[in-house]
């Protein structure tokens, strides 16, 4: 069935709201046709990843929209930039690229975006509610919105995100539709040791396994105690969206559309069920630990941006201790969380320990912030997935406590007991 447009859609497409909105609507309509959507739907908000500089075309696109008089129609938050805008001295890369990145941020502010500069918009005060349709870009934000908040967004990428924001419309397709939100693959972890099931450390590794073995379908995890906190769901989702192409997961008893396994599956038999073993998880962990030996150059946490709950774990681990002088210890977060760190006195504790808190960007996107190309440690499966190719570094994926202890000692220190059989 061909795409049906409302009178308001057609008015936008015909240029009745100006050439900028017309350009954006043309792109939204083309996407809808490619997805074989029957109609467009109204969105209540957007999160834009296009503000991250990927080359001259990204800036030219935003400048074109601005020159044509476009502006956002719905509340729109902005993803990370390519540099720390509060601490520009941290950027030691190409000055021209820094300037282009800064100009891009100005364009998106000019289009009406909120200068939030965070990849974790779900940590802001305002976030979409259950059932609300939004157009979010950035893979970890998309999977969190769908899975944890119960909001509805498809996997939007650069340029589409801002066009949806300008028009307030998105294709009625993908994860916006109920039938596409049903789980198809089951991951049963009930056979894992209880100590591992109760550890933060399980979730990034499990997410990496789920993403790598699911493809683009919706998975459901069962066997984990219900009521899991957001930081664990965030960690699993970010890892799964990086190692795979999924935009949503269910966890029985923890995510809003999976009170039971049967409801997550929509009453239909799954395509497959995987009994997850320690061997499976150790293979996933090994695939993200590319470093060998005990050498350590840097520790990079906060991908996606660290939350207050995560800082509440990190700060006591570092209190009264000192990072080894040969280790560059960086934590990325949003500027809203950064302000809260200042108010609570936690920023002083971190800085006294030798930690640099980075805002507005991510350390696997800003190579100048990694302090070199030596072996790095992280507690983020997403960082471990992207950093080797983006930065050329070797990585050891480990728990937060292991990252801290290694930073203090100046060498990689890990405890394998949690992952041992028997």
Is residue 155 over pLDDT 90? yes
Supply the pTM of this predicted model: 0.96
The three-point CA angle 418-214-361 to 5° equals: 75
**Measuring CA to CA, which residue among 139, 130, 147 is closest to residue 252?**
147
pLDDT interval class at 12 (50, 70, 90):
very high
pLDDT interval class at 422 (50, 70, 90):
low
> CA–CA separation, 80 vs 48, rounded Å?
9
Question: C-alpha distances in angstroms, 40 versus 131, 266, 379?
Answer: 16, 25, 40
> CA–CA separation, 222 vs 276, rounded Å?
10
pLDDT interval class at 369 (50, 70, 90):
low
Give residue 158's pLDDT: 93
pLDDT digits (tens, 9 = 90+) for 86-138: 998 888 788 999 999 999 999 999 999 999 999 999 999 999 999 999 999 99
Give residue 374's pLDDT: 81
Strand 46-48 and strand 76-78: the pairing is parallel
> CA–CA separation, 80 vs 365, rounded Å?
9
pLDDT digits (tens, 9 = 90+) for 60-76: 999 999 999 999 999 99
If phi over 0 gives left and psi between -120 and 50 gives alpha, with beta otherwise, what is residue 281?
alpha
pLDDT digits (tens, 9 = 90+) for 169-192: 999 999 999 999 999 999 999 999
Which residues does 345 contact at the CB level (< 8 Å), separation at least 6?
none
> CA–CA separation, 24 vs 422, rounded Å?
58
């Amino acid at each position: 069935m061909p795409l049906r447009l409302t009178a308001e859609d057609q008015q936008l497409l015909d240029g009745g709201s100006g050439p900028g909105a017309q350009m954006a609507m043309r792109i939204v309509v083309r996407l809808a046709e490619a997805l074989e959507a029957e109609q467009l739907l109204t969105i209540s908000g957007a999160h834009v990843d296009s503000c991250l500089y990927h080359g001259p075309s990204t800036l030219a696109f935003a400048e074109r929209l601005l020159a044509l008089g476009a502006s956002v129609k719905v509340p729109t938050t902005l993803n990370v930039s390519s540099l720390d805008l509060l601490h520009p001295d941290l950027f030691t890369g190409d000055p021209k690229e820094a300037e282009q990145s800064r100009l891009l941020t100005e364009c998106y502010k000019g289009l009406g975006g909120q200068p939030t500069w965070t990849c974790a918009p779900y940590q802001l005060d305002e976030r979409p509610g259950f059932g609300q349709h939004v157009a979010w870009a950035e893979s970890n934000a998309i999977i969190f919105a769908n899975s944890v908040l119960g909001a509805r967004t498809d996997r939007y990428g650069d340029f589409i995100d801002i066009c949806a924001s300008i028009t307030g419309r998105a294709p009625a397709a993908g994860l916006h539709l109920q039938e596409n939100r049903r789980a198809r693959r089951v991951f049963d972890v009930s056979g894992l040791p209880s100590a591992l099931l109760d550890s933060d450390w399980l979730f990034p590794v499990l997410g990496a396994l789920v993403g790598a073995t699911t493809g683009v379908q919706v998975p459901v995890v069962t066997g984990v105690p219900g009521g899991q906190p957001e930081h664990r769901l965030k960690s699993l989702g970010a890892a799964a969206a990086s190692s795979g192409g999924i935009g949503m997961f269910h966890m029985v008893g923890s995510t809003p559309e999976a009170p039971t396994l049967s409801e997550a599956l929509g009453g239909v038999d799954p395509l497959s069920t995987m009994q997850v073993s320690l061997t499976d998880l150790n293979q996933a962990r090994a695939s993200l630990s590319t470093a060998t030996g005990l050498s350590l150059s840097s520790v990079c946490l906060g991908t996606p941006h660290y939350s207050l709950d995560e800082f509440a774990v990190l700060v006591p681990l570092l209190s009264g201790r000192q990072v080894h002088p040969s280790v560059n210890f960086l934590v990325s977060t949003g500027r809203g969380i950064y302000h809260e760190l200042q108010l609570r006195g936690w920023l002083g504790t971190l800085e006294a320990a030798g930690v640099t808190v980075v805002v507005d960007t991510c350390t696997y996107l800003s190579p100048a912030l990694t302090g070199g190309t030596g072996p790095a440690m992280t507690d983020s499966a997403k960082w471990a997935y992207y950093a080797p190719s983006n930065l050329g570094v070797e990585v050891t994926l480990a728990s937060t406590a292991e990252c801290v202890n290694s930073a203090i000692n100046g060498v990689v220190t890990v405890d394998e007991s949690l992952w041992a059989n028997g």
